[in-house]
Amino acid sequence: MSNRMTNLLVPIVSVILGLLVGAVIMLVSGYNPLEGYAALWNGIFGDMYTIGETIRQITPYLLAGLAVAFAFRSGLFNIGVEGQLIVGWFAAAYVGVAVELPKIIHLPLAIIAAAVAGALWGFVPGLLKAKFHVHEVIITIMMNYIALHVTNALIRTVSDGGDRTENIFASASLRSEFLENLTEFSRLHLGIVLALVMVGVMWFILEKTTLGFELKAVGFNKNASQYAGMNVNKNIILAMVISGAFAGMAGAMEALGTFEYVSSKGGFTGIGFDGIAVALLGMNTPLGVIFGATLFGSLKYGALNMPNAAGIPIEIVEIVIAVIIFFVASGYIIRLLLLRASAKKKEAK
């Protein structure tokens, strides 16, 4: 079996196996898998509204996945994407309500504020990792909680004790009348365009610049990179800063596009943590992140229709979606099984 055929079969077999096991789980639980999957399909592609909402759901996953993948490619595990996203969300919303400017200035300024906030939140663990060899996983986990509670306090301050800010000015909004009309007034916004541009930016940095070469080299082997004359500490900090900037922009998608405000939160959004799965599904490549985010976002949004349309409890739905993602993530095992089957077939001949 050729490599091209194997590469084609692995994702197809993975999805089919995930769907089959998910169907078995629904059958054992007493629910009709055909109705369940029909509801899932309609929740993703049922009409222009659901298609718009699905793409809207994919948008922050794209940027969160890029944030995690960029750090991974640099040899770092940025588990703090969630916190960086939260501070980016607050920064974008604050700039959106604090001043009213021409759209050509206001919207870029709000997005830049989100990216800077996320970058600063990534700078701290990057600095501690580089200077004091503190493990980035420990620091970023703690920074997530700091981000959650600090932004909650800031929201109460800027809203005079309330639990949410006012809606941002229209000049800072990513909403598009054209996209809303196209998708039957879904919340699809121009953030999807920015997210796809950032995919290109990540590819360009990693594959076409000296900085990207150094970041990947440091990720592969710090000692060899230092021996070659690279500034390892600088590259560690830069990797976390750029990763944090991607995460901050993911927060801007929610602040300026989906909700147009920021509210105090009782817990994490989950987008940043899901970004880890998106990056791993995409094998930490920019193009792979697009497919990972598309799969994850589509399943997440489409699954919301299963309890209503098919009467399947949300707990079963979550298990089914997790099983599908599990099999897709197990592509290496499926690839190995396909190669072994192909080898045995050749031996039999």
How much is the pLDDT for 7? 66
How much is the pLDDT for 336? 81
| Token couple for 14 | 């993975």
- Give the whole-angstrom CA distance, residue 179 versus residue 175: 8
Give SS3 for 185. coil
- Give the whole-angstrom CA distance, residue 194 versus residue 211: 22
CB 125 within 8 A of CB 146: no
Spans of the chain, pLDDT less than 50: none
Q: What is the dihedral of CA 23, 10, 327, 201, to 10 degrees?
A: -120
How much is the pLDDT for 8? 67
Give residue 98's Cα distance to chain centre: 28
- Give the whole-angstrom CA distance, residue 239 versus residue 119: 10
How much is the pLDDT for 281? 86
- Give the whole-angstrom CA distance, residue 246 versus residue 259: 19
User: Is the pTM above the cut of 0.85?
Assistant: yes
Cβ neighbours of 270 (radius 10 Å): 11
How much is the pLDDT for 10? 77
Cβ neighbours of 181 (radius 10 Å): 11
| Token couple for 141 | 């986990």
How much is the pLDDT for 312? 95
- HSE of 64 in the Cβ direction (CA atoms, 13 Å)? 36
How much is the pLDDT for 337? 79
| Model confidence pLDDT, tens digit, residues 238-272 | 999 999 999 999 999 999 999 999 999 999 999 99
